Structure 1
Amino acid sequence: MNHGKAPADLDRIRLYDQQEAAAHELLRPVADWISGHVARPHPDLGRRGAVCPFVPLAQRLGLVRFALAEPPVRDEEELVAAVAALKAHWLAMEPLSGQHTIDKTIVLALPGIAAASVVRVHDRLKPEFVADGLMLGEFYPGHPGPGLHNPGFRPLHSDVPLLVARSMVGNDLPFLAERRYPPARRAGFVESFLRHQTGASTVTRERARAELEHARDELGHPSPE
């Protein structure tokens, strides 16, 4: 869906596969971080498995792409255009259907971009991603976001600012129902989750409905009978 907006300029960013990224001066640190940290266990994670449990398979399937804005972004409006291209590339990337669509990942590296700009653009555009069943992740140096299983772990810290496009999965409910979001945004996120995650477990969908009811109660709009 493009919600009536002008088509994104796909040429605003350039995509690289894992091998190309490993040979690129700007992308090599990001590719190394993905392989050496995100795709591996960490003693502070608070659970077994990789920091992101989906990345090892995505790498084996060759479904992780890296991206750079070309030319580099100079302001937040140019960053918005780059993220629009990021989403369009993800939607056009194979596979377009089937079980491995959830493994498609594009990592937009933003060297030199201020964390505050990444935060503002992420906050502005995340609703568009979620409405279409996608997630837009933000990573930057010193990101304070805590881990789900260990509040002392900081899984969103990266040395290079990043925005990451991937499919929404059932495990994303806690990120969509965070209390830092105002109730209207939270309700919209959870409604999108329920619409797109029809295959989520019964427990997860019940939890989502409870989160939606809670957000609607805060708004003074109880769920329909």
Structure 2
Amino acid sequence: MNDLACIRLFDEREAAADERLRSVADWISGHVARPHPDLGRRGAVCPFVPLSQRLGLIRFALATPPVADEAGLEAAASALKAHWLAMEPRGGPHAIDKTIVLVLPGLPEDLVVRVHDRLKPEFVGDGMMLGEFFPDHPGPGLHNPAFRPLHSDTPLLVARSMVANDLPFLTEKHYPPERRAGFVAAFLEHQSSASAATRRRAREELELARGEMGRCPFLQ
């Protein structure tokens, strides 16, 4: 079986009609794409989702066959990345607006966490972000630490494009310095059009991480 065959994609209309996906599609439209009083800023919980919906660039995915173990989830996550990279548009201004939501009903959260942690560097290295969502996810909001933006009633892995606003998520201090350095190096490679101030902060973060590793600081 090739990578692309490990998951099946559904557009929003198909997801809304499928009982396995309907609740997740409703959550995306009714929560993620809307403002929330506890968010700590204006706009939708995910500011990119409303435009992705208008452009028809959100897909939902199910593993085929359903994930039963860690190897199965790794294969499905690899297929998620392959599908995102192959999905149109592959260039132009709206390439950053495509998103694929891999729906993993009933999967244990520790399994999702392990595979997400293992594969995220591969996604970031290709200019992508890999998000993990599950019930009672403890991850705090960027603007309100009491908000829990990564909570989802159904476990999910979500693939989307890296954007300039992702720098804070790639430099979180719970990551060891080696991982932060790799993430920020990939950010600088793929976000060449980010503002001068953002790239300066990225270079500072890379220097800090490499300094913690006992290596020469980034001098670019």
Smaller-chain TM-score bracket: over 0.9
The number of aligned residues is: 219
Q: Which residue of 2 aligns with 1:108?
A: 102
Alignment match of 1:94 (pick from 88, 91, 108): 88
- SS of 1:181's equivalent? coil
- SS of 1:214's equivalent? helix
Q: Is the 8 A contact 1:8 1:88 kept in 2?
A: no
Superimposed CA distance per residue, residues 85-115 of structure 1 (whole angstroms, 9 cap, x where no aligned partner): 1000001100010010100000000001000
Q: Which residue of 2 aligns with 1:4?
A: none
2:57 matched to 1:84? no
Alignment match of 2:122 (pick from 128, 134, 145): 128
199-208 or 101-110, which deviates more: 199-208
- Compared CA separation, residues 66 and 224, structure 1 to 2 (3 A): closer
Q: Is the 8 A contact 2:206 2:218 kept in 1?
A: no
Structure 2 residue runs without a partner (length 5+) = none
Q: Which residue of 1 aligns with 2:175?
A: 181
2:21 matched to 1:33? no
Q: Is the 8 A contact 1:133 1:196 kept in 2?
A: yes
CA distance in 2, matches of 1:222, 1:27: 49
**Pairs within 5 Å for 1:50-89:** 50-89=44-83
Q: Is the 8 A contact 2:7 2:63 kept in 1?
A: yes
- SS of 1:106's equivalent? strand
CA distance in 2, matches of 1:112, 1:140: 10
Letter in 2 for 1:195: E
Q: Is the 8 A contact 1:13 1:85 kept in 2?
A: yes
Q: Which residue of 2 aligns with 1:3?
A: none
- Please, what TM-score do these two structures have when normalized by structure 1? 0.96
CA distance in 2, matches of 1:96, 1:185: 27
Q: Which residue of 1 aligns with 2:199?
A: 205
Query: Where in structure 1 do 4 or more consecutive aligned residues deviate above 6 Å?
Result: none
Q: Is the 8 A contact 1:8 1:84 kept in 2?
A: no
Q: Is the 8 A contact 2:207 2:218 kept in 1?
A: no
Q: Is the 8 A contact 1:39 1:56 kept in 2?
A: yes
CA distance in 2, matches of 1:8, 1:135: 22
CA distance in 1, matches of 2:89, 2:47: 20
Offset at residue 203 of structure 1 (A): 1.2
CA distance in 2, matches of 1:194, 1:66: 29
Letter in 2 for 1:212: L
Letter in 2 for 1:112: G
CA distance in 2, matches of 1:166, 1:143: 19
Alignment match of 2:15 (pick from 16, 21, 42): 21
Offset at residue 189 of structure 1 (A): 0.2
Letter in 2 for 1:37: H
Offset at residue 222 of structure 1 (A): 2.5
- Please, what TM-score do these two structures have when normalized by structure 2? 0.98
Q: Is the 8 A contact 2:32 2:44 kept in 1?
A: yes
Q: Is the 8 A contact 2:210 2:218 kept in 1?
A: no
Offset at residue 70 of structure 1 (A): 1.2
